[in-house]
Amino acid sequence: MARYAMLSLLALAACNRAAAPPPLGEGRLAVNGGRIWYKVSGTAGRTPLVLLHGGPGFSSFYLKAFEDLGDERIVVRYDQLGGGKSDTTSDTTLFTIAHFVRELDSLRSHLGIQKWHVLGHSWGTILALEYYRAHPDRVASLTFGSPVFDIPAYERRARELLATISKPSQQAVRVAEATNKYDAPAYQNAINEFYGLYVFRHPVQADLDSSFATFNNRIYTYMQGPSEFTITGTLKQYDVTSLLPQIHTPTLVTVGEFDEVGPELVRAHAGAIPGARYEVLAGSAHITPWDARDANVRVVRQFLRSADSLNAVAN
């Protein structure tokens, strides 16, 4: 057993020596359509981690909690083109999964990282999965936070939850959808009521304000729709559940107890992935890094450590 442990440590050390760590700090990278903002933090040692935020069209402010993992590894947080601190855009030809996959790998190449752990949340889980499909050799593990691998099923769940908000808000949604007018104050109030129950319950106010101040509604509407429960965008028919058994890398799947995505649906997705670990984060809605901060970071930390060990043995 001692010899086996020593071989594992030597393999891990050799893997870590394979490339120099990227420089710490913030930067901007030119990609198709503009420049994306990124931040590299942490310390070299274990395999780096990249964070993929949700939306589409949002930003990475709410993923800051995972920078706590920087005491063991490099953590890369970035804003996808169009949102956050990255350049804005209204070019719909860039609002595609393929664009965001290329953008992500451009960042990896720019930072000189050969292989990294990929953590995606919400829309970011679609990006993480599609990145893995395109570049499996560059992914050390996958963490899917509140995954949306079956948008039609997610939409059905969201419509069920819609029936639990107040009657005036339900009526406002019916009117907006019937008239195709989504800027009415009553519809916006319905969105906020839904958010407070199923999207985030304990937001970090400063980061929430920054998220909405830098939100690109053009991307969100084009790919998702006018809200979390009215799905009209290009992702409406997205369903890759049949591909989940083809994932052959260490995988963690998490979901909030009151998540709009639904623990039952996410449990089924996790069960389709060979060897995946599944965790429900108590008391949390969709934005688990806010609602269950410490538990979420702890679960991801433990998983990444185990994935590092498995990869060391495999190498």
Catalytic residues: 122, 259, 286
- Straight-line distance from the first to the last Cα atom of the chain, in angstroms, rounded to the nearest whole number: 18
Q: Enumerate long-range contacts of 278-282, CB under 8 Å, 24 or more apart.
A: 278/253, 278/254, 279/252, 279/253, 279/254, 279/255, 280/254, 280/255, 280/256, 281/254, 281/255, 281/256, 281/257, 282/257
Closest listed residue to residue 157, CA positions, set 56, 269, 249: 269
Alpha helix (H) residue ranges in the chain: 2-16, 97-111, 123-134, 151-162, 167-179, 185-198, 205-213, 217-223, 263-272, 288-291, 293-314
**230 vs 228: CA distance, rounded Å:** 6
**Rounded distance between C-alpha atoms, residue 226 and residue 23, angstroms:** 39
The SS3 call for residue 228 is coil
DSSP state of 306: H
How many Cβ atoms from other residues are within 10 Å of residue 270's Cβ? 21
Cβ contact 73:99 at 8 Å: no
Amino acid at 166: S
For the record, the structure tokens of 181 come out as 């007018």
